[in-house]
Structure 1
């Protein structure tokens, strides 16, 4: 019987609508806590550009520590977690979900000595 594949958590940001497309953001981590922390930090980084009402909505979500704990628990149970924020220009979505990762076989790679600097 094959061993189960290791679990990781893939996080990314999407935007629907709006006049521009931001550079894709994403994170792959081995624990759900850093996944939720990444989502929260990404939202926090966007708050200075938000209008007053949307800012307060985002700030309320950022201040909800219990909600962050619930998100971590959902990821541990194998469920995805998403947060959406509607702005006047677009709808932003931060998503984290569990994924299985394939271990990389390293036995086929040649062992090479470290590169030396001639400086």
Structure 2
């Protein structure tokens, strides 16, 4: 049987400055909408800490609802999506990638052979 693996979306955030603190926990979700929502929420969380220019760039991206929908569609088509925001604290990057999820093994006790 040749079944396709279920698709999930892996979301990740990182910054190139070791001193910068942020919501760097990854997320795995089964739909592209929550992946983009996670990215947007992470950017929104960072905005009070940004300098004026980075703040305006971040809010312009957050206000681009067509862009957010295009990101969801890109993920649905199997393409990754990234948003990058240079700041005075470092270069932030949020990414979401479609990945195939391996099925988990059942939690039942293993079968034992009799012999």
TM-score (norm 1): 0.85
Aligned positions of 1:52-63 closer than 5 A:
52-63=52-63
TM-aligned CA deviation for residue 89 of structure 1: 2.0
Aligned CA RMSD, in angstroms, stands at 1.7
d(CA) in 2 for partners of 1:12, 1:107: 29
Structure 2 partner of 1:83:
83
Determine if the alignment matches structure 1 residue 68 to structure 2 residue 74: no
Distance 1:23 1:34 in 2: 16
TM-score, normalised with respect to structure 2: 0.88
Count of residues in Structure 1 that have an aligned counterpart in Structure 2: 110
Determine the C-alpha separation between the residues in 2 that align with 1:61 and 1:22.
18
Q: Indicate conservation of the 8 Å contact 2:82/2:95, yes or no.
A: yes
Equivalent residues in 2 for 1:85-104, closer than 5 Å: 85-104=85-104
Residue 35 of structure 2 aligns to a residue in which SS? helix
